[in-house]
Chain A
């Protein structure tokens, strides 16, 4: 089922939830809505579900305009952050509830619920109540309830955020696998960029009610179109520093009071066209500590991540996050030299926050 959102605007009184959102989701696609809290992603999801009424714009499921279709008639399944399991019903009754409402025959209900429960690995829990289940089991029940009526579209509202880290990892894989197997168009709201990157076919990054970008994960990562996307996607986040780029002797140089960096031709070209400062972004993995480096800084703090160390280096007032191998034991307070991989830097217009390199 294709899901088409055209010029969707949702306001609550004067407060804007989403503004002028246009998004075309393909059949069977897994799309993540990514953004900080309050960015409008959940509002969009609930509007898709029919809980909220669009102020303007149109939503289509397939070719059918669903603006005025009641939630129950949209044939969607939804998994909530709190799971929203009915506490007074057993697991069986929870999963069977959508079927009961569709007046499906009792024996078919049983069959379907057992099928779904077995797929979800909760076949042995059908007589329990939600209160007696662990977080992961509740999650599976919620997923089962969403799937049992064979929905055209699956909606997820931060379904993993109440789980512990290890379980989140497992569920992440399971949901993705299930979605691919069933081929149900899915929309997944999250503020966790790792979740979005690992699960989604395409990610819609939102901020302040506006769509920032809608692209495949690796596109978003390597060719961010706005500074917000660049900063939000990727962990640890991209470092930003305000620089002036100038052309000298056919080469491009980005400089601040403390830094002076040579930029490669194709990336420097656009930036140099700007009068005054631009924002330069560089990812932590593109900075190395190296004796050959030309920028001197002092280590402020070292955070061991196990596989590598996350190091915060201060260069004057600027702070750069970078990843270093654990083999060298760095200490806070130590002076180091940094080497930037200038082939990977991004440049953004400080006013519009749009990328100078990758125009839409």
Chain B
């Protein structure tokens, strides 16, 4: 019984902090908030102060690091609020008022802290911006000057309190338009204002100053956003978070594909808005889709069905060829002993490093030569379906062989031994016993190959000049090359036409594609 005493001591496995008082919780929340602020500041500094300048040394003209810096700084307050609110969320469902109190208090403290930083460094709402250094308000008559900063731009231009601004040059403006115009102005840009002083209509030219007016009032919207955000975070059900994150990440794609769908059903678009010929909302049409099946786009006549069949046969034939060739090599590498096996295996890996696409020219020369071979040259050289097929299969091999080898590796050796003892040759073992068992792998690789074959463009386009061997991608490019002006909405329709079958295929195939890890990339761990 002393053993029990020695092994188990309940008192020792309690968590560090037990019942935290409100103060302790608050301190922890603030601590987490501060840590996130520091991390994001550090990231921002890293992007703008280290990585950006380093690449500038290599004369890379990029704005990616700037954008990342701005993103980090933009996200900074919100990440801090989330970090702080994560402490409050412990009490959301047990003690709502405590949770809210904690979260809001820490948010206010963090907000003030960030604001002080922004004030000190002229950042965010305190950043210098184009200003005429007067306070304005919208009235019936126009924009009324409420106050003027002494010594500022407006005073220099002799504006007076009570003036009612009606227009910049000849453009009538309201306050919103005025502010937009102002925000786009550069330093010292002259703005000729028309205004009413009393009943008199006057003009003055005010030169734009870039100043930080540092009005504490400007913080208010930020504070409201922060508090609302915090409340949302406190009450947000945890299982929603992944969905929100996923949709957030997907937004650009969703918008983009939303546009492309609208575009194919309309004459033209501005942004996401479809327009008719008179620039009004509307202008929906099925013409873009119709013309695909009618077979005439801007004078280019074609029949879509043979093109579709070519696409399909390229994809199907390539899929089977890739599967057969890769699985045979994968089987030998996984299961057979022969001189040079280690070399072939390492070489398969190194093959990943061969930039196949930059070998287009030499492959072109090889195909020209193959064409010269008697008898079979007619089928495998330049400008033949066989030649194109072989090149495409070859390009898929590095991934294919490696994946197949991995799948074969995972089949128990006893299966193979049993087949050999039953009297099977290696070929029969491969074909009748092992191949049926790596079906998941074949499906996964097959899906990759099929997608690759369906979308194949560069190789058919490069090596089948003038054979009429065109699949959908090649046709799409012909459409762009041979019609002028290019009707991009029409192009988009053809592109979607090409996308839809493969997308549907993928939806059904995804389950099988997810088996890909069962082989291939599995390590020795």
Contact = CB atoms under 8 A, between A and B. Distances in A.
A260 interface: no
Interface string B373-405: 000000000000000000000000000000000
A98 B437 contact: no
B415 interface: yes
In this complex, which of B418, B421, B436 has the most chain A Cβ atoms within 10 angstroms of its Cβ?
B421
B424 interface: yes
B73 to A, nearest CB: 58
A132 B422 CA distance: 23
Contacts of A102: 423
B249 to A, nearest CB: 40
B417 A80 contact: yes
Contacts of A82: 412, 414
B90 interface: no
Contacts of B425: 72
B437 A77 contact: no
B423 A84 contact: no
A88 B412 contact: no
A129 to B, nearest CB: 12
B171 to A, nearest CB: 78
A72 B422 contact: yes
Interface in A181-199: none
Contacts of A76: 421
A150 to B, nearest CB: 13
B417 A46 contact: yes
Given A82-B412, A86-B433, A49 B422 contact: no
A326 B418 CA distance: 47
Nearest to A52: B417
A78 B416 CA distance: 12
Given A72-B420, A97-B422, A145-B422, A86 B415 contact: yes
A101 interface: yes
B70 interface: no
B428 interface: yes
Nearest to A103: B423
A71 interface: yes
A179 interface: no
B428 A84 contact: no
A102 B425 CA distance: 11
B65 to A, nearest CB: 52
A216 interface: no
B48 to A, nearest CB: 56
Contacts of B422: 72, 97-98, 101, 145, 149
A87 to B, nearest CB: 6
A169 interface: no
Contact of B417 (A70, A77, A84): A84
Contacts of A88: 436-437
Contacts of B414: 80-82, 84, 157
Given A72-B420, A81-B414, A86-B415, A101 B428 contact: yes
B423 A98 contact: yes
Contacts of B437: 86-88
A13 to B, nearest CB: 13
Contacts of A87: 436-437
A39 B470 CA distance: 64
Contacts of A97: 419, 422, 424
A84 B412 contact: yes
B179 to A, nearest CB: 72
Nearest to A87: B437
Interface string B405-445: 00000001011011111111100100001001100000000
Contacts of B417: 46, 49, 51, 71, 78, 80, 84
The DSSP consensus for interface residues of chain B is helix
A265 B424 CA distance: 62
B424 A101 contact: yes
Contacts of A78: 417-418, 421
A50 B414 CA distance: 13
A86 B419 CA distance: 9
A149 B425 CA distance: 17
Interface in A56-82: 70-72, 74, 76-78, 80-82
A71 B421 contact: yes
A185 to B, nearest CB: 15
A77 B424 CA distance: 13
Contacts of A98: 422-423
A72 B436 contact: no
Contacts of B421: 49-51, 71-72, 74, 76-78
Contacts of B418: 78, 80, 84, 145
Interface in A313-342: none
Given A81-B414, A82-B412, A84-B414, A71 B436 contact: no
A97 to B, nearest CB: 5
B414 to A, nearest CB: 4
Interface string A39-54: 0000000100111000
Contacts of A51: 417, 420-421
A41 to B, nearest CB: 15
Contact of A84 (B415, B424, B436): B415
A34 B270 CA distance: 82
B419 to A, nearest CB: 8
B425 to A, nearest CB: 8
Contacts of B419: 86, 97
A51 B335 CA distance: 12
A101 B423 contact: yes
A82 B437 CA distance: 15
Nearest to A79: B418
Contact of A72 (B412, B415, B424, B433): B424
Contacts of A145: 418, 422
Nearest to A157: B414
A15 B424 CA distance: 30
Contacts of A50: 420-421
Contacts of A101: 422-424, 428
Contacts of A72: 420-425
Nearest to A72: B423
A81 B415 CA distance: 11
Nearest to B424: A101
Contacts of B428: 101
A46 B433 CA distance: 19
Nearest to A70: B420
A87 B436 CA distance: 9
A72 to B, nearest CB: 4
A97 B419 CA distance: 9
Interface of B: 412, 414-415, 417-425, 428, 433, 436-437
12 contacts: A49-B421, A51-B421, A70-B420, A72-B421, A72-B423, A72-B424, A80-B414, A80-B417, A81-B414, A84-B415, A86-B436, A157-B414
Given A51-B417, A101-B423, 13 more contacts: A71-B420, A72-B422, A80-B417, A82-B412, A84-B414, A86-B415, A86-B419, A86-B436, A86-B437, A87-B437, A97-B422, A98-B423, A145-B422
Q: Sorted from nearest, which 5 A-B pairs have the closest CB atoms?
A: A72-B423, A84-B418, A88-B436, A101-B423, A84-B414
